[in-house]
């Protein structure tokens, strides 16, 4: 496959068939050096086109993560000096850079081959909902990109024309990345956030790629696992879904007991809603999910689920109770029973690790995690570099939130460490930190 030039959607579909055939033979060549991680000559990172910046950042990042700064003072100081990114790449940069797709893909350091046969045979689908910060979108896409996967990008209708154009130009360079066929004007805590994911679900089910699981992301997410690690975790699920789903607290029941009006925000009225049109109880969770293809197909086609979703449309933050409730309905593929014994907290689900300000404290005294080293936004930690050691110890696939203007080191170090791990060289294990990951 030649990477370059602009592609229409029709051309992208035609190329993808050849693309998968090409990689099915190439993956066997890639797998051999990866399986011999102890032989540096056989699996040199240079074979995997690791961006120069990732290599330059690695010594300082390892020092920050492990706390061992001996011999890396200069590298650490250089990283710390660029903690808050003052300037980010503009929409115009991406519009111009993607005029030559082959050069763009190479210069920006995207992975262009499946890194193992196991990954090739287990494609993952993504629903990526974004509304701003083009550079952060590109860095997220680059960090999770693999040619065998499939990516649906939902752009908020309200986003600027230049943002829309820049995203579409980036997307046009990849045969397995596309913009959702229907875009929503997303209002925080409203149904439109759910609809954005549903639009991508519909498109992804019509894709020629036979993906196994669907993961959803927003613009402030970042992975803490490589694609191969994700594949391994998803295989263990064996068709089950993984998301937060717990008994609804009294304080949250009003979110779905009363009718809400949506304008620029979501406003509760005094009008009580009818009971939910399902036989199982309501549950609470969050917007993030790890769901099987069978789950997605069922949700998009089942009449009871469709009726339930229609009922959800005038609730507050439906994404935080609809998915959690579907996961407890016995007829839904990959679900768990509604009994309280099957409650799954966000810390036990694979989907997302989040630090809430009101839960932080001394772990030795019972807190789930220590305070954030970055800052808080809507009570959620925007991670700092000091959170990396803790993050890399978690079982989750993704973490939220990240912002390069708050702490770019946390993102740069994840980029560096994950790319080296993906290439077959785990820099942390080589430094004899076996309990880190």
HEC-encoded secondary structure of 300-360: HHCHHHHHHHHHHCCCCCHHHCHHHHHCCCCCCCCCCCCCHHHCECCCCCCCEECCEHHHE
Q: SS3 of 246, please?
A: strand
Half-sphere exposure of 422 (CA within 13 A, CB side): 33
Rounded to 10 deg, the angle between the 227-237 and 404-422 helix axes is 80
CB 311 within 8 A of CB 276: yes
Of 413, 408, 356, nearest in space to 65 by CA: 413
Say which of 244, 320, 405, 415 is annotated catalytic.
320
H or E stretch at 160: none
Tokens linked to 383: 């991670």
H or E stretch at 77: helix 73-81
The residue written with tokens 């986003």 in the block is: 159
HEC-encoded secondary structure of 190-220: CHHHHHHHHHHHHHHHCCCCCCCEEEEEECC
Query: 202, exposed or middle or buried, with CB in 10 Å at 0-12, 13-18, 19+?
Result: middle
Query: How many CB atoms sit inside 10 A of residue 356's CB?
Result: 15
Tokens linked to 325: 């409730």
Of 29, 231, 243, nearest in space to 144 by CA: 231
Tokens linked to 285: 């969770």
- Dihedral sign for Cα atoms in the order 56, 57, 61, 63: positive
CB 298 within 8 A of CB 353: no
CB 313 within 8 A of CB 191: yes
CB 389 within 8 A of CB 417: no
246 is catalytic: no
Tokens linked to 93: 């940069």
The catalytic site residues sit at 320
């Amino acid at each position: 496959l030649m990477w370059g030039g602009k592609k229409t959607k029709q051309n992208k579909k035609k190329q993808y068939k050849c693309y998968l055939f090409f990689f099915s033979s190439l993956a066997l060549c890639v797998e051999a050096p990866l399986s011999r991680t102890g032989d540096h000559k056989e699996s040199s990172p240079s074979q995997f086109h690791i961006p120069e910046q990732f290599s330059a950042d690695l010594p300082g990042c390892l020092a920050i993560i492990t706390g061992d700064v001996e011999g890396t003072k200069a590298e650490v100081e250089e990283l710390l000096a660029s903690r808050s990114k003052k300037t980010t790449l503009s929409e115009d940069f991406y519009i111009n850079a993607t005029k030559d797709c082959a050069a763009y893909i190479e210069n920006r350091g995207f992975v262009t081959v499946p890194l193992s046969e196991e990954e090739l045979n287990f494609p993952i689908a993504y629903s990526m909902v974004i509304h701003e910060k083009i550079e952060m979108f590109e860095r997220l896409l680059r960090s999770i990109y693999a040619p065998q996967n499939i990516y649906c990008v939902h752009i908020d209708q309200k986003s600027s024309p230049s943002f829309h154009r820049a995203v579409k130009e980036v997307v046009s360079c990849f045969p397995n990345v596309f913009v959702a066929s229907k875009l929503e004007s997303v209002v925080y805590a409203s149904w439109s956030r759910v609809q954005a994911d549903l639009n991508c679900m519909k498109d992804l089910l019509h894709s020629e790629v036979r993906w196994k699981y669907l993961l959803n992301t927003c613009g402030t997410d970042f992975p803490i696992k490589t694609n191969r690690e994700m594949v391994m975790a998803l295989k263990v699920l064996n068709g089950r879904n993984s998301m937060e789903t717990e008994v609804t607290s009294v304080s949250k029941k009003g979110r779905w007991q009363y009718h809400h009006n949506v304008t620029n925000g979501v406003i509760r009225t005094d009008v009580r809603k009818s009971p939910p049109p399902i036989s199982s109880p309501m549950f609470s969770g969050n917007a993030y999910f790890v769901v099987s293809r069978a789950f997605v197909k069922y949700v998009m086609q089942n009449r009871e689920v469709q009726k339930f979703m229609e009922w959800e449309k005038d609730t507050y933050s439906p994404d935080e109770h609809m998915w959690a409730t579907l996961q407890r309905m016995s007829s839904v593929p990959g679900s768990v029973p509604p009994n309280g014994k099957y409650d799954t907290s966000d810390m036990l689900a694979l989907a997302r690790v989040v630090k809430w300000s009101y839960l932080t404290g001394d772990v030795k005294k019972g807190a789930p995690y220590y305070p954030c080293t970055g800052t808080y936004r809507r009570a959620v930690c925007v991670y700092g570099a000091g959170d990396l050691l803790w993050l890399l110890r978690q079982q989750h696939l993704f973490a939220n939130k990240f912002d390069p203007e708050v702490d770019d080191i946390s993102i740069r170090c994840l980029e560096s460490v994950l790319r080296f791990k993906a290439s077959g060289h785990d820099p942390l294990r080589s430094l004899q930190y076996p309990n880190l990951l």
